[in-house]
Structure 1
Amino acid sequence: MASARPPDWVLQRRRAVGARIRDVRLHANLSQERLAENAGLDRQAINRIEQGHASPLLDNLIRIADALGIPLADLVR
């Protein structure tokens, strides 16, 4: 059973979360590879999340926030 495409407002907020991750990562002078390594993910996953192409699991958002040294709430506000 195929899942329906999320509404546009959900996709827009997903892209906003990805942009926040990218901004914090760049401010911390981290590459996608380094962030992925620190979060226990692969670089492609970080790229898909930052671009808004993937809907990350909560567990992965927690890992990313921890690897960036910021509260999870700062990524999803």
Structure 2
Amino acid sequence: MPREQPAIERQRQALGTRIRDLRDHALLTQEDFAEMTGINRRTLQRIERGGDPRYSQLVRIAEALGVPLANLVEG
């Protein structure tokens, strides 16, 4: 499998940071956020660290944070 381009990795890192910052701003723990989104806490940790989320996970994250999906992914 070919290695991803550094730009894509940076974008995923930025997305994870945005999600974590928004979650922190909402004063939500990862446990609470996992419960709200229906996404496993370990999966959320991976996403916040720059993992590659599924579209359905991004939709649930955006809804739980009260932000449009476009704003979440565009930064």
Q: Pick the TM interval, shorter chain.
A: over 0.9
For the aligned residues, what is the CA RMSD? 0.8
Question: How big is each residue's C-alpha offset from its partner over 1:44-63, in whole Å with a ceiling of 9 and x where there is no partner?
Answer: 011000010x2001110000
Residues 25-44 of structure 1: pairs in structure 2 closer than 5 A: 25-44=23-42
Please, which runs of 5 or more residues in structure 2 have no aligned partner? none
- Tell which has more relative contact order, 1 or 2 (C-alpha 8 A, sep 6+): 2
Runs of 4 or more, structure 1, over 2 Å off, are none
Please, which runs of 5 or more residues in structure 1 have no aligned partner? none
Task: Provide the identity percentage.
Answer: 47
TM superposition score normalised by structure 2 = 0.93
TM superposition score normalised by structure 1 = 0.91
Cα distance in structure 2, aligned partners of 1:5 and 1:57: 19
Cα distance in structure 1, aligned partners of 2:21 and 2:32: 15
Question: How big is each residue's C-alpha offset from its partner over 1:3-38, in whole Å with a ceiling of 9 and x where there is no partner?
Answer: 322111000000000000001000000011111111
What is the count of residue pairs matched by the alignment? 74
